[in-house]
């Protein structure tokens, strides 16, 4: 019998039925319609049939397809039911390919089912994409590019930080707080002059005082950067956001301490910040005396959101600021009963004891947002040593990615970091218990004070090996997934800010030292029973 094409034959004989029972690429099994990642550029592909097959040029041409060009095809010398395929020419790096065997008569059998699968070749990390520079030069380069997001891309009318690249009129209150903290870094590193930084700070403070809407002294999550009016974050979240307000106040109080000069501009910055700070009615957010703070209040929906600020997350700074207020403070009882209750963990993950929070620590921003200004190095209270907490959290996040229990392509001891970011299917708070295969540069880089060796290694891998796939005008793009061949082209303010600030805290302690000089903050910490 002569096979002319799959599914057609000449002659009366019937061919024995067969199926493809398995496929491997470089020893990795792949299911029908499945995909294998990280394949070598000259892979060996084995297709095992349910019975012996025969090779002929007509069957190879008619029944076998490969998206990557020509294949060398032969039978295994020891097992004629195994077809061995190798590309004739090396494949391209980090590229998708597809192989298919069509159903029908060919290879001396009647293949009753087709078999297709895909693979993606490995990223070639044997070479550098960018030229090597010193570690100090790279740190400064990353800070400078990331700082430009807040300096060059700030809203032109208000000076506040746009929520993300392309958000136009939408500015973010919390992200703006992080951007304000980046101003002293920009001055310290010579990206801008002190006079330029002071002028921008005064512009922002003036807008917040005179145009931005406030609710019991607190700001909404988003504002219109021109009009200062609220942009609702969701239907019921159209009023005050106490957590975002706290991140803004963290930045403003840092500037109040930093701009300590006697000239009119710096004096106006300080007085304007004091006015904004003292106007926040932190005690209002206890809902008339409850022993917990609430996240949201709306002039239209009152306490409809009903979200308490409780347990270990990114919001320790909210309670510290609320206790530090000279005009509307909360009591230690609100901290003890509201925030600190139920925060303890004390379990081990990867042989690392985690004092507080959810198993495996949660997303890495828990260790960043409150601690851009709040210095964890000597910070402790009845519940935890906060340096120990943040170091443990970072080490667990690193260890999880290095262990890679879900087998995602690309995870390693130098490619790690799970936190809230864009991902290949939207936006999510990634963590070891919510792992989508997405790495966010801010997670590892902003953890530099806690895991300097691991964070530096990650930064160098991202810059030198992934290069312009994730590096753009404002530094590292928000996130990527080698598993899904996805690279964000987005920048988000709340991810950009910690990169600038936490690198500087590791290098010089600038923001920690500046924020902790504030007399109100020191009194608030003492009121809550902190040692610092």
Structure confidence by residue, pLDDT tens digits, 323-347: 999 999 999 999 999 999 888 999 9
Give dist(CA 77, CA 233) in Å, integer. 65
**What is the DSSP secondary structure assignment for residue 468, as one 8-state letter?**
G
pLDDT at 1: 33
Give dist(CA 419, CA 502) in Å, integer. 15
**What is the DSSP secondary structure assignment for residue 344, as one 8-state letter?**
E
Q: 456, 452, 458, 445: which is closest to 415 by C-alpha?
A: 458
CA distances from 324 to 81, 369, 518 (A): 76, 18, 10
Structure confidence by residue, pLDDT tens digits, 508-519: 999 999 999 999
| In contact, 241 and 295? CB cutoff 8 Å | yes
Structure confidence by residue, pLDDT tens digits, 336-381: 999 998 889 999 999 999 999 999 999 999 999 999 999 999 999 9
Average pLDDT, integer, range 164-183: 98
pLDDT at 13: 60
Phi/psi at 402 (5° precision): -65, -40
Structure confidence by residue, pLDDT tens digits, 407-450: 999 999 999 999 999 999 999 999 999 999 999 999 999 999 99
Structural tokens at position 404: 């890679």
- Local structure of 369: helix, strand or coil: helix
- Buried b / exposed e over 240-271, threshold 16 CB at 10 Å, is bbbbbbbbbbbbbbbbbbbbeeeeeebebbbe
Structure confidence by residue, pLDDT tens digits, 188-201: 999 999 999 999 99
pLDDT at 8: 56
Please give the domain boundaries of the chain with CATH numbers for all domains.
2-121 (2.60.40.3710), 135-281+312-333+344-527 (1.50.10.140)
Q: How far apart are the first and last CA of the chain?
A: 87
Residue 3 has pLDDT above 50, yes or no: no
- Angle in degrees, 0-180, between the axes of helices 173-188 and 194-210, rounded to the nearest 10: 160
Structural tokens at position 275: 């006015």
- Local structure of 313: helix, strand or coil: coil
Give dist(CA 237, CA 219) in Å, integer. 11
Phi/psi at 248 (5° precision): -65, -45
Number of H helices, E strands in the chain: 14, 29
| In contact, 239 and 221? CB cutoff 8 Å | no
| In contact, 261 and 213? CB cutoff 8 Å | no
Give dist(CA 204, CA 525) in Å, integer. 27
**What is the DSSP secondary structure assignment for residue 329, as one 8-state letter?**
P
When pLDDT is cut at 50, 70 and 90, the band that residue 2 belongs to is very low
Residue 7 has pLDDT above 90, yes or no: no
Tell me the whole-structure pTM to 2 decimals.
Answer: 0.94
| In contact, 123 and 94? CB cutoff 8 Å | yes
CA distances from 478 to 67, 174, 402, 422 (A): 32, 17, 21, 7
Residue 12 has pLDDT above 50, yes or no: no
Beta-carbon contacts of residue 57 (< 8 Å; ≥ 6 apart): none
DSSP string of 166-199, one letter each residue: T-TTEEEHHHHHHHHHHHHHHHHTTSS-HHHHHH
In angstroms, how far is CA 98 from the centroid of its own chain?
31
When pLDDT is cut at 50, 70 and 90, the band that residue 144 belongs to is very high
Structural tokens at position 182: 């980046």
When pLDDT is cut at 50, 70 and 90, the band that residue 4 belongs to is very low
Residue 322 has pLDDT above 50, yes or no: yes
| In contact, 501 and 182? CB cutoff 8 Å | yes
Structural tokens at position 513: 């030292």
Q: 530, 512, 508: which is closest to 143 by C-alpha?
A: 508
Structure confidence by residue, pLDDT tens digits, 190-234: 999 999 999 999 999 999 999 999 999 999 999 999 999 999 999
In angstroms, how far is CA 154 from the centroid of its own chain?
21
- The vertex-290 CA angle with 289 and 293, nearest 5°, equals 105
Structure confidence by residue, pLDDT tens digits, 56-69: 999 999 999 999 99
pLDDT at 89: 93
In angstroms, how far is CA 223 from the centroid of its own chain?
23
**What is the DSSP secondary structure assignment for residue 462, as one 8-state letter?**
I
């Amino acid at each position: 019998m002569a096979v002319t094409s799959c599914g057609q034959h000449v002659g009366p004989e019937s061919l024995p039925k067969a199926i493809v029972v398995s496929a491997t690429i470089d020893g990795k099994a792949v299911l029908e319609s499945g995909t294998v990642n990280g394949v070598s550029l000259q892979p060996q592909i084995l297709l095992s049939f349910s019975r012996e097959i025969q090779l002929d040029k007509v069957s190879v041409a008619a029944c076998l397809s490969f998206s990557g060009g020509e294949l060398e095809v032969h039978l295994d010398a020891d097992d004629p039911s195994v077809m061995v395929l190798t590309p004739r020419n090396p494949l391209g790096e980090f590229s998708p390919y597809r192989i298919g065997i069509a159903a029908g008569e060919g290879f001396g059998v009647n293949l009753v089912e087709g078999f297709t699968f895909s693979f993606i070749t490995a990223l070639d990390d044997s070479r550098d994409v960018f030229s090597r520079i010193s570690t100090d030069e790279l740190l400064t380069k990353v800070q400078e590019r990331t700082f430009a997001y807040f300096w060059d891309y700030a809203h032109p009318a208000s000076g506040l930080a746009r929520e993300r690249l392309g958000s136009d009129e939408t500015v973010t209150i919390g992200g703006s707080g992080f951007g304000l903290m980046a101003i002293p870094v920009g001055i310290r590193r010579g990206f801008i002059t002190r006079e330029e930084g002071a002028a921008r700070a005064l512009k922002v403070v003036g807008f917040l005082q005179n145009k931005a809407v406030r609710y019991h002294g607190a700001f909404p999550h988003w504002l219109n950067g021109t009009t200062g009016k609220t942009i609702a974050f969701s239907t019921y979240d159209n009023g005050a956001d106490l957590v975002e307000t706290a991140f803004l106040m963290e930045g403003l109080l840092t500037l109040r301490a930093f701009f300590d000069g006697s000239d009119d501009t710096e004096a106006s910055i300080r007085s304007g910040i004091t006015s904004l700070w003292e106007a926040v009615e932190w005690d209002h957010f206890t809902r008339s005396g409850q022993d917990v703070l609430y996240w949201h209040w709306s002039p239209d929906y009152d306490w409809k959101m009903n979200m308490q600020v409780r347990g270990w997350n990114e919001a320790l700074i909210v309670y510290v600021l609320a206790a530090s207020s000279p005009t509307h403070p909360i009591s230690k009882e609100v901290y003890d009963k509201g925030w600190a209750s139920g925060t303890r963990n004390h379990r081990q993950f990867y042989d690392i004891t985690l004092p507080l929070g959810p198993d495996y620590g949660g997303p890495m921003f828990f260790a960043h947002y409150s601690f851009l200004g709040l210095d964890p190095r000597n910070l402790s209270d009845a519940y935890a040593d906060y340096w120990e907490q943040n170091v443990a959290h970072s080490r667990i996040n690193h260890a999880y990615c290095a262990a890679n229990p879900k087998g995602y392509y690309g995870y390693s001891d130098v490619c790690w970091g799970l936190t809230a970011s864009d991902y290949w299917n939207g936006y999510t708070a990634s963590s070891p218990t919510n792992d989508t295969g997405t790495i966010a540069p801010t997670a590892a880089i902003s953890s530099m004070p806690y895991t300097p060796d691991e964070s530096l290694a990650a930064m160098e891998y991202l810059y030198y090996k992934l290069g312009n796939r994730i590096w753009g005008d404002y530094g590292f793009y928000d996130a990527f997934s080698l598993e899904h061949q996805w690279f964000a082209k987005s920048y988000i303010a709340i991810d950009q800010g910690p990169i600038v600030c936490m690198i500087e805290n590791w290098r010089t302690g600038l923001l920690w030292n500046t924020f902790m000089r504030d007399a109100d903050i020191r009194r608030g910490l003492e009121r809550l029973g902190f040692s610092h």
